[in-house]
Chains A and B, each alone.
Chain A
Amino acid sequence: MAALRVADLYGLFTNRRLRSAGVKNLTTRPALAPCTLALAAALIAACGGGGGSRSLIQNKGSDTLVNVAQAWAEEYAALRPGTAVAVTGGGSGTGIAAMINGTVDIANSSRKMKDSEIELARGNGNEPIEFVVGYDALAVYLHPDNPIDEVSLEQLAALYGEGGDVDTWSQYGVEVPGCGSDEIVRVSRQNNSGTYVYFREAVLGERRDFRLGSRDMHGSKDVVDLVENTPCAIGYSGFAYATDHVKMPCVRKAEDGDCVSPSVDSAIDGSYPIARPLFMYTSGQPEGAIRDYIDWVLSDEGQCIIYEKGYAPRGDVDCS
């Protein structure tokens, strides 16, 4: 309705102008669209303004870290209104590529930068500095009806690895209620995810590839969601993503070793076999606002946030 009225006014205006010029016009004139746009732009600019000066930190990378990074950014915005942290996900590879190209202030990664990547970054004048900001324990997820309580790395490798020969739950000697086909649904991640790369390293070994035929999900949460709803499924994902509706078996490093449950404690003390450090990379020694932010992330306050999100902090912190 409002638009019609605006158009009315516009039509009247042009009509009068043209009539006075002695021209019999056929219709109205164009050129309204650009005006409206300029007006709209001015309007939102006015709405968005009023923030004063602030420093902006670009933080990009790992999907595993993205939720913690978001929680840090949210908390920090409340604490220091003068600094804003823009968080973007996309995967560790995305963050590292941005670090190499110099389009990011802090890159999040759930794996160490490779030497070749560090070389590339140096070639562009960016010297990556590494900070360990916490630890991630990958949990193996099962449907709650699944009777299995413990798995070994060897079993996981036989299931996920190339050349593996385990396809059915009965090969593990169990019958899973609700899984009529007996066939194991292997849930995995897309191959640019840090979780995928780390699982391969820790479980299959550097050289061994994943076997084809797994369901590759595009987010840590998707893995858990799928397993939650699929009795036949087994999956792996960060243990921060656990819900009450999935089961996490304990994991054995060697067939005769202890079976360790995924927990913050077992990740810190290194007894849990699939836990890894999480990194932030800055370009050169951080200064100013970036330095302050990193320091805060590593402080007890920042470390308690990563702890609350289900990851393990770098050391002992008291978060009670």
Chain B
Amino acid sequence: MFEATAQNRRNRKVEGLFRLLFLWMTCMLILPVALILGVLIVRGGPAISWEFLFTQPMNNMTAGGILPALVGTVWLVVVALIASVPVGVAAALYLSEYAPDNRLTRAINLAIINLAGVPSIVHALFGLGAFVIFFRFGTSVLAASLTLAVMTLPVVIVATRESLQTVPLAFREACWNMGATRWQTIRKIVLPNSISGILTGVILEVSRTSGETAPIMFTGAAFFLPFLPQGVLDQTMAMSLHLFVISTQVPDVPEHMPFGVALVLISMVLAMNGISIAFRVYLRGRKKW
């Protein structure tokens, strides 16, 4: 009575096929990541040394280290975070906790989506016009970081808003019923419960900021700079531009050097992400629902 019919068997076969197909596609996804990491480690690994990380470039950047680029990238990322996280989180809070669903809110949402779609080179030109020339910051860490901040703002806003909305409405209602104001509710209930999602936004921003080349090329990054930036109004070298420069502009760069720079850049991003992810996992473990 329960013997499989021909139809059943066919269904099962098709099922198995699709399962295999989807598995294969998933593996295809891992392949490029594994290849990139593998190639970088094998070919860039030999370049990495204490000296490579902590000395100035020498002999037309074909020898010596990458210290100014390394420090420069940290500067750019940190200043960009300082500029964009408060603004992004505040905007997301308004949109999620205060904003009524009216035309203005919809226009703002549309603007955010469009901002996310603007190509980075357009942001670069905007940064050049706005920060470098109009605000007279010159080509500096400040101008470059603000350009990066504007570029990554939508990422922060969208991630924060989504994470705010995962906090159950019942939590807020319970708080309001106790007579708490909106701000009290946000501070005591909403933010503490959504911090892990906000951190995700920050993680994404760090990854994107440290790798971007176009927006900093016109606004603050230098081809070569014999010193470390000492303030936000200094120009700086940056890892991403340094990688571009030594792979395309400088003759006679030893082959392992560009791979080494790429490896350091990727390790930096992975390390920063790792710290944030660990923090996030820890916070999520404390959720009470």
Residues of A at under 8 Å CB distance from B? 1-4, 7-8, 11, 23, 25-30, 33-34, 37-38, 40-41, 44-45, 47-49, 51, 54, 56, 58, 60, 63, 66-67, 69-71, 73-74, 77, 84-90, 94, 101, 103-104, 218-222, 224, 240-241, 243
Contact = CB atoms under 8 A, between A and B. Distances in A.
B289 to A, nearest CB: 8
Interface of B: 57-58, 60-61, 71, 74-75, 78-79, 81-82, 85-86, 132-133, 138-139, 171, 188-189, 191-193, 195, 198-199, 202, 217-218, 221-231, 234-235, 245, 248-251, 275-276, 278-279, 282-283, 286-288
Given A11-B286, A27-B288, A33-B202, A67 B226 contact: no
Contacts, number: 149
Contact of A47 (B228, B250, B287): B228
Contact of B195 (A25, A30, A86, A240): A30
A61 B171 CA distance: 58
A317 B242 CA distance: 33
Contacts of A84: 225-227
Most buried by A among B79, B85, B225, B231: B225
B288 A48 contact: no
A48 B138 contact: no
24 contacts: A3-B278, A4-B279, A23-B188, A27-B195, A28-B286, A30-B191, A30-B198, A37-B81, A41-B78, A44-B75, A45-B230, A47-B71, A48-B229, A51-B227, A51-B228, A63-B249, A67-B249, A73-B224, A74-B57, A74-B224, A86-B225, A87-B223, A103-B139, A222-B248
Given A1-B278, A66-B223, A70-B250, 5 more contacts: A11-B282, A28-B195, A67-B60, A87-B223, A240-B251
Contacts of B86: 34
Contacts of B133: 101, 103
Contacts of B198: 30, 33
A51 B229 CA distance: 10
Contact of A71 (B60, B82, B230, B286): B60
Most buried by A among B60, B139, B226: B226
B230 A49 contact: yes
Given A27-B192, A54-B227, A67 B250 contact: yes
Contacts of B132: 103
Nearest to B61: A70
A2 B276 CA distance: 11
Contacts of B248: 218-219, 221-222
A54 B276 CA distance: 38
Top 10 nearest A-B pairs (CB, nearest first) are A77-B226, A219-B248, A48-B228, A3-B275, A70-B224, A87-B224, A30-B195, A86-B222, A86-B235, A30-B191
Contacts of B288: 26-27
A33 B61 CA distance: 36
Contacts of B223: 66, 69-70, 87-89
Nearest to B286: A27
Given A85-B226, A86-B222, A66 B249 contact: yes
B230 A48 contact: yes
B251 A30 contact: no
B206 to A, nearest CB: 11
Contacts of A60: 139
Contacts of B81: 37
B242 to A, nearest CB: 12
B85 A37 contact: yes
Contact of A73 (B188, B226, B283): B226
A241 B71 contact: no
A70 B64 CA distance: 14
B245 A89 contact: yes
A16 B225 CA distance: 49
Contact of B225 (A26, A34, A87): A87
Contacts of B282: 4, 7-8, 11
Given A28-B195, A70-B60, A74-B60, A41 B79 contact: yes
A241 B60 CA distance: 13
A293 B230 CA distance: 22
Nearest to B198: A30
B32 to A, nearest CB: 24
B192 A26 contact: yes
A291 to B, nearest CB: 19
A62 to B, nearest CB: 11
